[in-house]
């Protein structure tokens, strides 16, 4: 398994570039990279096979050889997750990144035990983005999923609209018939889908009303068993990716 380097910029095949900062330190001081060693550079315009050309203290020069095949799902799924307590958010973000989530919108639900405001929001976002980045490296992803915080469910729906998500599947324990597979088939083609998961206490009645008033939203069930919030999102994403042909063939 080759190490991965994530870049926000577009790059050219055959070019060389120096990487410093946290990634440069990681490759030069932690991994102790040596010239000639292979890696994958995941740039804004796709993954590239590359090799370490030079190493200095705290930075490395990489040579981009040729394009590499993509590991990303054809369809993009965003997890809209009600803020959970303790270390559950770390687990949710880690596992769903491994599975293939394109991005995350964490919202402070009416029933969320944890409340975030001010500097705490920035602190949590920094931690969550670090968790997601490390999970993306481990899972051999080509992109680092985005992580956004929304102060309420209404704002989370606005955020996913900004990301051009036009299909929203809302996990609801009161739904008895419509599953994720049937909802995706009924909706037709579309490469961006959001999955909404409530916090430990589930979605409140007001949040359910908002979902029903939004034409993009459909309530779905995962079956007769009630799953924990840290389990539901991962299961839902796995089902959705399997239905779209991006997991398990």
- pLDDT tens readout for residues 109-166: 999 999 999 999 999 999 999 999 999 999 999 999 999 999 999 999 999 999 999 8
76 sits in which H/E element: strand 76-82
In the chain, the number of structural domains is 2
Does residue 108 sit in the same domain as residue 50? no
Is residue 249 situated within a structural domain? no
47 sits in which H/E element: strand 46-56
Of 49, 67, 85, at which residue does a domain stop? 67
Whole-number pLDDT of residue 189? 59
Does residue 80 sit in the same domain as residue 43? no
Give the β-pairing of 38-43 and 46-56.
antiparallel
Is residue 248 situated within a structural domain? no
Please state which of the ranges 10-14, 22-26, 31-35, 239-243 shows the lowest mean pLDDT.
22-26
Supply φ then ψ for residue 128, to 5 degrees: -60, -40
Supply φ then ψ for residue 199, to 5 degrees: -75, -165
Whole-number pLDDT of residue 206? 95
Rounded CA separation 232/196 (Å): 10
Whole-number pLDDT of residue 138? 93
Is residue 18 situated within a structural domain? yes
Does residue 51 sit in the same domain as residue 83? no
Does residue 60 sit in the same domain as residue 91? no
For residue 81, what are the domain limits?
76-243
Of 19, 49, 67, at which residue does a domain stop? 67
Kindly report the CATH number assigned to the domain that includes residue 33: 2.40.240.20
Residues, the chain: 249
| pLDDT, mean of residues 161-177 | 92
């Amino acid at each position: 398994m080759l190490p991965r380097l994530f870049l926000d910029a577009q790059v050219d095949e055959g070019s060389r570039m120096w990487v410093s900062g946290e990634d440069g330190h990681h490759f030069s001081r932690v991994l102790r990279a040596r010239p000639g060693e292979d890696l994958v550079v995941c740039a804004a315009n796709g993954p590239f096979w590359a090799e370490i050309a030079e190493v200095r203290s705290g930075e490395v020069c990489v040579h981009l050889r040729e394009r590499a095949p993509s590991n990303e799902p054809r369809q993009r799924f965003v997890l809209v997750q009600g803020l959970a307590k303790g270390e559950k958010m770390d687990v949710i973000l880690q596992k769903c990144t491994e599975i293939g989530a394109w991005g995350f919108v964490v919202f402070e639900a009416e029933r969320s035990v944890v409340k975030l405001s001010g500097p705490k929001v920035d602190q949590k976002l920094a931690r969550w983005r670090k968790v997601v980045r490390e999970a993306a490296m481990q899972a051999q992803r080509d992109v680092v999923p985005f992580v956004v915080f929304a102060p309420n469910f209404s704002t989370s729906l606005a955020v996913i609209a900004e990301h051009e998500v036009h299909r929203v599947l809302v996990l609801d324990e009161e739904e008895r018939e419509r599953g994720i597979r049937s909802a995706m088939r009924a909706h037709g083609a579309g490469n961006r889908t959001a999955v909404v998961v409530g916090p430990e206490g589930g979605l409140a009645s007001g949040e359910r009303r908002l979902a029903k008033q939004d034409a993009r939203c459909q309530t779905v069930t995962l079956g007769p068993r009630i799953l924990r919030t840290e389990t539901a999102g991962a299961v839902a994403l796995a089902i959705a990716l399997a239905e779209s042909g991006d997991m398990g063939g």
